[in-house]
Amino acid sequence: MFTLIKRAFRSGWKTLIRDGGLVAANIFIMAMVIATVTSLFIFKEASDFLIAKLQNKVDISVYFKYETAEGDILKVKEEITGIPEVKEVAYVSKEEALKNFTEKHQDNQVLMDSLSEVGANPFLASLDIKAFQANQYEAVAKFLDDPTFNSLIEKVNYYETKPVIERIFSLTSNFNKAGIVFSIILAIVAILVAFNTIRLAIYNSREEIKIQRLVGASNQFIRGPFLVQGAICGFSAAMICLLLFFLLMWGFNSRVEYLFPGLSLFQIFTGNFWWILLIQIMTGVGLGMLSSLIAVRRYLKV
């Protein structure tokens, strides 16, 4: 067995050197395939970050009647916190609401004058509620529709923000579906391209294979060098892609972070380095060996 493996590696390496141009084209095609798979992985991580950031900006607010005591509001806060869909609940007192409004509009003299004319604090205490997912806000709104809260709550702004929340939920759902479909299409195209490239390399050795068959060589003996060749091409393509993505993520990181604050492609790459390396090697070596195996069996009648 060891002799057979050694012979397969030696023969496969000789074939690589002999068919240098075709091997280079094969590595290039595989590198494109691996780059596509890696891009999908990084793109998914980046999109998950952006969607989570967008969802984090969406919430619903519960405004309490002016005379509602702070203790009653905090009791409602405890009840809402216990809802499984709720991620976070923040209490904003009347005084804090006034302070926030003043800080935000301090340069608007008209608003400041109007506020002074009112005399008293016109703002209502509120609870800002964040759910884990955009589609969970409806369940929170239904909970707040309970008649026991009617004497405390002035209004819930869910139905005002509902179109925005539904849009985010629709965007997230459609993006995930599109990503799956796009990944499947690219995977099929990539396999077909890589398969046909390796098939050409095997076709180039058809006379050698015929001679081996005539002298009684086994299928395993003939397949070995081509499997080794496919594995070496795949591994080489994976290493090229790893270096390329390292340089790209490092080079474009500042530009992407400028457009999308908080999104660091280089951090995504380094944080998932071992996963990316595993994906690239498995894709390259697996695709190379599988394509070689299929091409030898189906097209060269081994």
* Rounded average pLDDT per 10-residue block, the chain, 302 residues: 56 58 73 81 79 71 84 86 85 82 75 70 83 78 81 79 70 70 70 67 66 65 72 85 90 82 85 89 82 65 52
CATH 3.40.630.30 is the classification of domain 59-161: no
What is the per-residue pLDDT for 49?
79
Within a 10 A sphere around the Cβ of 217, how many other Cβ atoms?
13
- Residue 302's pLDDT is 46
CA distance 166 to 160: 11
Domain boundaries, the chain: 2-54+169-299, 59-161
Using CA atoms, how far apart are residues 267 and 253, in angstroms rounded to an integer? 9
- Which helix (H) or strand (E) element contains residue 154? strand 153-156
CA-closest candidate to residue 37, choices 216, 282, 208, 225: 282
What are the C-alpha distances in Å from 60 to residues 63, 122, 144, 159, 160?
A: 10, 20, 11, 9, 9
Q: How many CB atoms lie within 10 A of CB 47?
A: 15
d(CA 230, CA 236): 10
Model confidence, pTM: 0.61
Tokens describing residue 195? 């398969």
pLDDT at 259: 77
Looking at residue 5, its pLDDT comes to 58
Question: How many whole angstroms separate alpha carbon 120 and alpha carbon 170?
Answer: 42
